[in-house]
Amino acid sequence: MYIKGFIAILFYFMMYQQVKAQSTADLTAKQSMQGKKEKDSILHLRLLKRDAQQQLYKPEFPFFDIDDDKIYYSFSLSGTKYLDSASFIFLEIKKKTNIQYKLRPLYAKKILIDSLVHLQYIDSILLQQVRLASGNFDLIITLMNDSSKVLDVEKIGFQLLRNSNEKIKDEYYENEVNMQANIVKLENTFVAKYDLETLKRNIRSLKPIAEGIEQKVLRDLSTLEDMQFLKQFFYNFWYNRNASYPEEEWKKYTEKLNYVAKLYGTANQPGYETDRGRIYIQYGEPQKIEKVPSEKDALPYEIWFYKYVETKSNISFLFFQPGRIGSQMFLLHSNLQSEVMNPYWKETLLQDPDNGDNKLMHRVFEYFK
């Protein structure tokens, strides 16, 4: 008991200054939010503990030692302008680090707005069910509407002291060590030359190939002004795809961007945002393209055929041009489950979709039934 108590005290004082600074920052952020109560905001995010009488209280510093088996948390919301029954809170626990946005959450939970009573919520996290070692962490909650647009984000830091004999063999921690070892000085990389507007434009162009948390950064890009964060994100994006030559990987991608810009881009829309441009970037050049610009009783259309897409074979995409003036085409139908699968494509494409002779008249039926 003496040794355990000594370790806890030593750990606590080693972290004291960092916790105090974080608590001050959290308080400042909360004070700033009080003037925005009319908006859909997260208010009063707190971490709680139980005392000897099993009463919840807010500790002066959010420190949880070996004897703590639960972390209690509570928050409330202000404003309901953009909220409905499909809105939700996404809760995460992540290790505190300067590249936190890259890390997968150690704990995650989706909380529907309907489960809140008077826009207030309180719950607990059982520490035995979460893989956490001793160290500094953040509890992060994100308020999102039904279209997954981020309305507000709040986080609060806390510290844990766990049994030193516990060994965590989670792949997440191994990956994190590797990432920490490969942190570079951004001013010496290819991202250093970009100003804010160019950097944002480059990041927007990543949309066709972004994955997971990368997509969330792209959704929130219009509100992000932190140059350091954006440069780190852009560098990490290409480092994760080619650790040896991240700049070369970006240059290869720009060749694709230039190609689809020339073929499919317009004055108001870059090539990668068009349906054909996006499909080309995501899946590469098709093995076959059928262009059917003037078939009788059908709108102009194109069919792109791929022998293989990922693990699927014989994949086709059907693009059509709604009007005969202009060259813009839109994805109408495909046989790839992760893409548009439109059971009413005939009604859109063909003038007489119920004509029994359609299969003889239209080439589209060579690819779609």
Q: Is 182 exposed, middle or buried (CB count within 10 Å of its CB: 0-12, 13-18, 19+)? A: exposed
Per-residue pLDDT tens digits for 20-54: 444 444 444 444 444 445 567 888 899 999 888 88
CB-based contacts of 217: which residues, under 8 Å, 6+ apart? 101, 203, 210, 224, 233
Helix (H) or strand (E) holding 107: strand 107-112
Query: What is the block-wise mean pLDDT of the chain (369 residues), using blocks of 10 residues?
Result: 45 47 47 52 90 87 88 87 75 82 79 82 86 86 75 89 59 36 73 93 94 80 84 89 91 96 92 95 95 94 94 94 79 92 94 92 94
**DSSP one-letter code for 365:** G
pLDDT of residue 278: 96
pLDDT of residue 176: 35
Mark out the alpha helices in 148-188 (DSSP H runs).
171-181
Report domain extents, the chain: 2-165, 186-264, 286-366
**pTM over the 0.75 mark:** no
* pLDDT at residue number 78: 83
DSSP notation for 51-80: -TTS-EE--SS-EE-TT--EEEEEEEEE--
Q: Cα separation of 146 and 82, whole Å?
A: 9
DSSP character string of 272-318: GGSHHHHHHHHH-S-SEEEEESS-TTB--EEEEEEEEETTEEEEEEE
Both tokens assigned to 272: 């990668």
Distances (CA, A) of 336 to 249, 300, 301, 339: 27, 22, 18, 5
pLDDT attached to residue 13: 46
Euclidean distance between CA atoms 35 and 259, whole angstroms: 48
Q: Residue 44's pLDDT is what?
A: 87
Q: What is the pLDDT of residue 273?
A: 93
Query: For the chain, what's the residue count?
Result: 369
pLDDT of 321: 93
CATH of 2-165, one of 1.10.10.60, 3.40.630.30, 3.30.930.10, 2.60.40.2550: 2.60.40.2550
**CA dist., res. 357 & res. 364, Å (int):** 13
How many C-alpha atoms does 33 have within 13 Å on its Cβ side?
Answer: 20
Distance, in Å, from the CA atom of 137 to the CA atom of 62, rounded to the nearest integer, reads 10
The residue assigned the tokens 């005969």 is 324
* pLDDT confidence of residue 102: 67
Question: Who contacts 73 (Cβ-Cβ below 8 Å, separation ≥6)?
Answer: 45, 46, 47, 48, 122, 123, 124, 125, 139
Q: How far is the C-alpha of 26 from the C-alpha of 32, rounded, in Å?
A: 10
The whole-number pLDDT of residue 333 equals 96
Please tell me the predicted confidence (pLDDT) of residue 39: 63
pLDDT for residue 33: 46
